[in-house]
Structure 1
Amino acid sequence: MMCKNWILMSTTIPASPEDEIVGRLLKILFVIFVDFMSIIYVIITS
């Protein structure tokens, strides 16, 4: 029930452009961080 309400809220309230930009930046940073960690893991294990 909570999930349905949350989906309704997220769809009815339009996301501002700033929120979209922040979301994209966080996604990019997360991808870079994961790549960085995998490189460090390879260096340590080799």
Structure 2
Amino acid sequence: MSFIFISSEIEEVIRSSDKVVIFKDNKKIKELLGNDINEKNILNSIAQEK
């Protein structure tokens, strides 16, 4: 089963997900799985330059 979960609460996303896909400006910029789902990787992905 899968679902789309949209949240700005990073800790909630980390607790609730086994796969995270990050979009910026309507484009997929990063996909994180398993142990790669952490605050540092999420924030780095959000902050990355185009």
TM-score over 0.5 (shorter chain) = no
Q: Which has the higher contact order (CA 8 A, sep 6+)?
A: 2
TM-score category of the 2 structures, normalised to the smaller one = under 0.3
The structure richer in helix per residue is: 1
- Greater radius of gyration (CA): 1
The structure richer in strand per residue is: 2
